[in-house]
Structure formats: C-alpha cells, structure tokens
C-alpha cells in the first residue's frame, strides 16, 4: 500500500511559540545533595524504608536529566530515563 503524503497548511501559531529560534544556553546542574534541600521532605516517622525509597526516587529522576547535543534543536535540559540517546517522551511521561 503506497504512503500518501497530504500537504499540510502552515501553522499560524508556530512563529508565536516562545521557544522558536532560541538556542540552548549551557548551564551546569546542581548536585542532588544541593537539590535535596529544595525538595519537600516526607514526614514518615514510622517508615524509614519509605523515606529512603522517596529520596532514592528523586535521586534517580535527577540522574536522568540530560543536556542536549550541540547540534540539537532542543533549548533546555531534558528528562531521559531510557538512556538510548535522544529524548523519549513515552518513558519520561512515567517519571513525571
């Protein structure tokens, strides 16, 4: 079955996108230990295992923040839990 490519109309909102034409400005990420002080702390007095699990989940999430490649059109760091090269929206949706 042949693939039919239908022409699309220009999107009038594309040029209004605030990220259109921007480039990535490299910046370093703070360490997880620095970030930890800015996150909500759980109150689980009888469940120290749950508290460790809570902090580990945040740490794992922070470890999956990546910077875009120089030739990428991305304008900011991104979450990539798949570790397969580029961003993976499917996997990232479950982390957020």
Mean pLDDT: which of 11-15, 24-28, 86-90 is highest?
24-28
Query: pLDDT confidence of 68, banded at 50, 70, 90?
Result: confident
Computed on alpha carbons and rounded to an integer, the radius of gyration of the chain in Å comes to 19
pTM metric for this prediction: 0.67
Euclidean distance between CA atoms 78 and 61, whole angstroms: 11
* Range list of H helices, the chain: 32-36, 48-63, 89-95
pLDDT of 86 above 70: no
Q: Give the residue, 19 or 88, on which the prediction is more confident.
A: 19
Which residue from 29, 13, 24, 25 is spatially nearest to 74, judged by alpha carbons? 24
pLDDT of residue 71: 85
pLDDT of residue 69: 85
Tokens 């923040």 belong to residue: 65
């Amino acid at each position: 079955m042949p693939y039919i490519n239908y022409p699309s109309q220009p999107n009038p909102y594309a040029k209004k996108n605030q990220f259109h034409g921007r480039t990535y400005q490299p910046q370093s990420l703070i360490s997880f230990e620095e970030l930890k002080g800015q996150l909500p702390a759980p109150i689980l007095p009888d469940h120290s295992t749950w508290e460790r699990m809570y902090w580990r989940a945040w740490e794992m999430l922070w470890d999956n923040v990546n910077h875009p490649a120089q030739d990428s059109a991305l304008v900011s760091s991104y979450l990539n839990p798949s570790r397969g090269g580029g961003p993976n929206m499917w996997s990232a949706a479950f982390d957020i």
